[in-house]
Every structure is written in structure tokens, then in C-alpha cells.
């Protein structure tokens, strides 16, 4: 199935919200990690979301090019081609674009989609994230409205964030954020719906104690009731139809009970990156340690080409990442829920 159309993406999100499940959104940095993600969704008979960050795009373009836009386009084109060979829907998304990268990352990708639409083709990405959470709320909303208008004209969904996700991801560190910033207020949630909903469809990463990075179970103190209260305040003020499509960032180390609770409050997308990075790397370490004398030409020997061929350990890495994504699909109750059934 080709990458989802706008109508199919909306159908995916609507179904997730109505049936209280969420899609894992998997960050990719290479064709190998993209292949692992697509196969995982197909294995689980689930639709899914694949996303590219600024850092992921830059890496994918190669060290000689080092261009986040080129890399993001390359990865997206690969997913468009490969997804056609599977019978589930894949949506393409870009992750955390901070204000300093709007003109050098987000807008060039929107322009690429505009060119494709002019030729009668689908947009390159189905949705983009603008993360203006570091800005004062009014400035964040102002830029979000401008970008949503551009996206809505092309049938692209915009994801935005208020509050701050703690921890570190993709080179952005929020380790010393004041605790009150980790929790989006219900007043903010009402204001976001009031300002953005008339312009176009959006997703909303409201924060409720989320933290990017690696933490032992129990170390991340989530307060899902923040989402419940914010949704209630929004629908009380603006009607049931104004209820947000919520996004869960920074879920590593979260208790499964907390994750499931958020699904009842409108979370329809959960970002997965840290756990899949480890899942990809762990079997590579295992391969190298077990085959040390064969992947290296030591003591005048020639090694073993079958062991140092990158395909040998990359296949293991892909399989491990695929399995971890499969677990995420189950955890988010998305197994078997493709709209193509």
C-alpha cells in the first residue's frame, strides 16, 4: 500500500481516538531502520507512523552532504517506494522542529510537498511537527497558526507542543527545566483549540511530566490526569468536537498502566525512539563480541567475510528493532487495527 493519503491518515487518527489505541511513531535515520519499522507494522497488521527528525535527516544525507532537508527527502522517498509492497498504511511525519530550523527544515519540506501536489502527486510527508515550546506561549501560538495555515492548504497535519518535555533528545537538552514547565495547563489546552482548530487539523503534544531519554521503570513521574483535565476543560468551553488529538512524547521508562490511561484521554500517537535505538544496536554488539576474531583481520589472518559483511549484522539489527516495534504496537493496543481490513 502506498503511503497514506490525507483522507486515510485522518481515518487512522479518528479510529485510534474512537477506539482508544495509539500508533507508535518510529524515528528513522537510515533505509535500514525504515525497513525495520515498515516490516514491524506489517507483521502486526497495524498501520503506523514513521518520522524523521532534523538530526536524523542530516545523518541520512551522509557526512559529505550533512543536509537535514536532503536526508529527510531521501528517507521519505524510500518509504514511499517500499511501503507499496506492504498491505498496511504508513504515514510520514517529521519530528521536533525547533524555531531556529523552521526556515531551513520545515518550510523547505512544505515547499517540496507543494511542488508534488502541483504535479498531481501526494505530499511528501503527511504531517510535520513544529516544537515552539521554548518560546512564550503567545509567540508559540502565532508561529503555529502561520505554519498550520500553510500545511492545511496542502492537506498536511501539523503537530505542535506546549509545555516542555524534559531530558535530552536529538541534541536538544531540557535537563534543568522548571517543574511547572513539564505540565501543560488546562488553560493552555483550551487556548490551543480555540486558536488552531478553525485553521486546520492538528495534533497536540501536551506535556504531563514526560521526559526524553533512558530511565528505569518508575523514574518517570507522569501525571496523565493533566490530559484528562485539559480535555475536559476544552470540551466544556468549545464542545465535544474540539477534543484534542494528543501525542505522547518521552515515554521510555513509563509504566504501562500510565500509557494505557493516556489512551483513554485522547492520545493517538506515541513517539518511540530511545528504545528502538537500543534494540537496533544491541545485536550488533552481540555479533561483534561473539565474532571478534572473524570481523577483524588479526595476527595476519584474513577474517571471515561472511561475518564482517555489514549485511550480516544489519539484518540482526533490523530484526531486533522490528521485534521492539511489534511490542510497542501491542502495548498501544494497535495490533490488527489497519484501516485496510
The catalytic residues are: 95
Q: What is the DSSP string of 214-265?
A: ---TT-S---THHHHHHHHHHHHHH-GGG---EEE---TT--HHHHHHHHTT
Nearest to 275 by CA among 21, 9, 36, 94: 36
Q: Which helix (H) or strand (E) holds 172?
A: strand 172-174
CA separation for the pair 126, 142 (Å, rounded) = 22
Work out the end-to-end distance of the chain between its first and last CA atoms, rounded to an integer number of angstroms: 12
Nearest to 29 by CA among 205, 271, 280, 210: 280
* 241 within 8 A of 302, measured Cβ to Cβ: no
Share in percent of the chain as helix, strand, coil (round to 5): 50, 15, 35
Cα 32 → chain centroid:
17
**Residue 240 CB partners (closer than 8 Å, separation 6+):** none
Nearest to 40 by CA among 295, 237, 309, 272: 272
Strand, helix or coil at 178? coil
**Residue 62 CB partners (closer than 8 Å, separation 6+):** 71
Amino acid at each position: 500500500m502506498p503511503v497514506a493519503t490525507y483522507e486515510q491518515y485522518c481515518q487512522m487518527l479518528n479510529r485510534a481516538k474512537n477506539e482508544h489505541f495509539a500508533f507508535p511513531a518510529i524515528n528513522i535515520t537510515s533505509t535500514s531502520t525504515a525497513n525495520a519499522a515498515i516490516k514491524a507494522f506489517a507483521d502486526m497488521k497495524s498501520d503506523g507512523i514513521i518520522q524523521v527528525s532534523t538530526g536524523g535527516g542530516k545523518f541520512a544525507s551522509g557526512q559529505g552532504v550533512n543536509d537535514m532537508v536532503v536526508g529527510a527527502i531521501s528517507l521519505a522517498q524510500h518509504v514511499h517506494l517500499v511501503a507499496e509492497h506492504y498491505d498496511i498504511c504508513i504515514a510520514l511525519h517529521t519530528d521536533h522542529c525547533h524555531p531556529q530550523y523552521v526556515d531551513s527544515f520545515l518550510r523547505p519540506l512544505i515547499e517540496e510537498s507543494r511542488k508534488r501536489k502541483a504535479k498531481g502527486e501526494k505530499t511528501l510527508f503527511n504531517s510535520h511537527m513544529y516544537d515552539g515550546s521554548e518560546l512564550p506561549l503567545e509567540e508559540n501560538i502565532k508561529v503555529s497558526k502561520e505554519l498550520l495555515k500553510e500545511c492545511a492548504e496542502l492537506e498536511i497535519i501539523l503537530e505542535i507542543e506546549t509545555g516542555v518535555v524534559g531530558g535530552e533528545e536529538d541534541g536538544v537538552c531540557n535537563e534543568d527545566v522548571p517543574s511547572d514547565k513539564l505540565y501543560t495547563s488546562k488553560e493552555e489546552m483550551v487556548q490551543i483549540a480555540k486558536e488552531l482548530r478553525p485553521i486546520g487539523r492538528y495534533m497536540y503534544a501536551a506535556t504531563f511530566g514526560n521526559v526524553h531519554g533512558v530511565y528505569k521503570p518508575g523514574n518517570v513521574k507522569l501525571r496523565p490526569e493533566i490530559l484528562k483535565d485539559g480535555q475536559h476543560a476544552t470540551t466544556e468551553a468549545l464542545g465535544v468536537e474540539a477534543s484534542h488529538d494528543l501525542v505522547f512524547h518521552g515515554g521510555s521508562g513509563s509504566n504501562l498502566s500510565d500509557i494505557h490511561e493516556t489512551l483513554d484521554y485522547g492520545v493517538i500517537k506515541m513517539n518511540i525512539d530511545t528504545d528502538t535505538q537500543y534494540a537496533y544496536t544491541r545485536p550488533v554488539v552481540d555479533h561483534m563480541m561473539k565474532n571478534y576474531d572473524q570481523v577483524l583481520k588479526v595476527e595476519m589472518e584474513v577474517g571471515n567475510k561472511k561475518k564482517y559483511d555489514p549485511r550480516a549484522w544489519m539484518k540482526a539489527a533490523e530484526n531486533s528493532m522490528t521485534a521492539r516495534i511489534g511490542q510497542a504496537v501491542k502495548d498501544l493496543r494497535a495490533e490488527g487495527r489497519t484501516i485496510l481490513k
